[in-house]
Structure 1
Amino acid sequence: MSAFRLARTATAVLLAVSGAALAAGPADAATPAAASASAHHYGHSYDGGVWGGYVAQGSGFRSVSGSWTMPQVQCNTANDLFAPWVGIDGYGSQTVEQTGVQVDCSSGSPVYSGWYEMYPAPPQYFNDPVDAGDSFTAGVVANGGGSYTLTLTDTTKGWTETTRQRLNAQNVSAEAVIESPSQSYPSFTSLDFSGITVNGRSFDAYSPQAIDSGQYTETALQNGAFSIVPAS
């Protein structure tokens, strides 16, 4: 990805992702007692967080999927928080349908957990074990009629979580990004996305644009793959 810093005018457009929609409650996920980051929403305020990744815009986005490996991180402050995720909507719309893995440093040490979010409903956390070095595949599918299937698989540990949710959404964008809604992220070397597809085609086919808030540097997207590193 070629990195660029979002201008304030572009950021203002992105504020359109914060809004209201109707979402069903989680059917098969639980919020851990230690999930202090649960107050943070992912994917709804591009100017209020730290960003890096790619977004495709248009209409008729029915599915997005991608893979990555969670890096080893070093917590710098208790406010450090970041997550890679894939999703539909969130850029120029009022909802986001998304799933990924977060690293939360509020305990003083990195805590990894899988999650999904049907914004504006809060994120829901899976109880499955997650560690640095685990490889993940995530996907969001729009089934039609406001129904969505979100799937997160830890291919290293061998678990899969699938949940079906409902949301009155528009399906006008698809993303593969990393985000820190706390505006503070732990130190890490690199995070590599691969195999990103949209509607069953390579992400490249949709001419996605880089989105970043200046704290990350992205490599060029090639065959549905790119890397993100903290900006120097």
Structure 2
Amino acid sequence: MKFTSTLALTALLAAPALAGPHGHKISESRSGSSQDTFPGAPNANQGYGQGQAQPSFGGFNQNQNQGQSQAQPTSTSTSTSTTSQVAPAVTSSISHSSSSSSSDYYVNENWAGAVQETSGTATFSYVAATFTLPSVTPTAASSSDTQSASFWVGIDGATGQNQIWQAGVDIYVENGETSFLGWYEWYPADTVSFDMDFNIGDVIVASVESLSSSEGVAILENLTTGKNVTATATAPSTSATLVGQTAEWILEDLAVDGDGLTLIDFGEAVFTGCVAKAGGRTVNLDGAELYAVEDSTSDHVQAAPEIY
């Protein structure tokens, strides 16, 4: 039986859409509706700084409080994990008409990728994927505008409750300069950056694991450079403990309608080795819900997912 673990994301940027950093929930952006929310969608009111609120199946949570003290990450020079499965891929192309009525995915304002939900009483305790940082092309927006895309994996990002444990890498371009940020976050606490260098073309393995409902470990590995970083964190409050209901593999538009960042044209991004663990069982992308990013101001899909 084929183990479906590759997710491809394609950039379909018909017009520059503004976005803002982590702390977002999935925001639904269907044609003919305004800011409707659906399970797992992020809050449209975003400020700079990571901190994604998790979307939920049936209604995204829109409470965005931040602030927490996280253990600082540590860096080593030896890679400690490998992946043989393929993860989600997302592609961005600059010409695409609206497809908000597509039966292949849900449309929202900032998440493109896959969300897997548990069945029965098993809960997710681990999520991982491998992705290559893609070449990016600034859109027609002013060169002084910051353009970006965020690649991450997480637990409980789509539960609609007040928690999410996630880690990933952001790409930013401003005035022709490209920069990167590796990070982890136990929402609603602030995002914490990893001390790690990145370049376009680097192959990254990202994973988050929950040791309990209130404690977790995040790991980023740069397979190209042989470096890896690990950090531990705890739930910032008793209301932010994990339930392990969903696992996510996401490429995110870091802001929603006017928060200052533009989704960068990333061409195609592919997450391979998309896996999660629940109740001692390994879960892949089979049956996962797919999400595409659509700019609500132009009704154009900007990033669409495909599992293969």
Give the TM interval when normalised to the shorter protein.
0.7 to 0.9
* Structure 1 residue ranges, 4+ long, deviating more than 3 angstroms after superposition: 11-14, 17-24, 46-49
User: Contact conserved, 1:93 with 1:172, CA < 8 A, in 2?
Assistant: no
Residues of 1 paired with 2:254 and 2:205: CA distance?
A: 22
Shift of 1:197: 0.6
Contact 1:23–1:121 (CA under 8 A) maintained in structure 2: yes
Within-5 A mapping of 1:151-162:
151-162=219-230
Question: Gaps (5+ residues) in structure 1?
Answer: 31-45, 223-232
CA deviation vs aligned residue, 1:4-55 (integer Å, no higher than 9, x gap): x75435258443164558854232279xxxxxxxxxxxxxxx9985220000
Structure 2: where are the runs of 5+ without partners? 1-6, 10-27, 31-35, 44-57, 76-105, 236-240, 257-261, 295-301
**TM-score, normalising length from structure 2?**
0.59
- Alignment partner, residue 185 of structure 1: 263
TM-score scaled by length of structure 1: 0.77
Q: Is the aligned partner of 1:212 residue 2:292?
A: yes
CA–CA distance in 2 between the matches of 1:108 and 1:164? 35
CA contact (8 A) 2:107 2:292 kept: no
Distance in structure 2 (CA, Å) of the matches to 1:69 and 1:213: 20
Letter aligned with residue 266 of structure 2: F
1:26 match: 71
Bigger radius of gyration among the two: 2
- With over 3 angstroms needed to count, the CA separation of the structure-2 counterparts of 1:120 and 1:103, relative to structure 1, is same
Q: Report the Cα distance in structure 2 between the residues aligned to 1:79 and 1:18, rounded to whole angstroms.
A: 26
Q: Give the 3-state SS of the residue equivalent to 2:60 in structure 1.
A: helix
The CA deviation string for residues 65-100 of structure 1, in whole angstroms up to 9 with x for no partner, is: 110100011233423121110010111221111111
Is the 2:167–2:206 Cα contact (8 Å) retained in structure 1? Answer: yes
Query: Which structure features the higher share of helix residues?
Result: 1
What's the counterpart of residue 53 of structure 1? 113
Aligned match of 2:156 in 64, 71, 89? 89
**Aligned residues: CA RMSD:** 2.9
> 65, 75, 85: which one pairs with 2:138?
75
Q: Which amino acid aligns with 1:138?
A: A
**Paired residue for 1:169?**
242
Alignment of 1:124-139 (within 5 A): 124-139=192-207
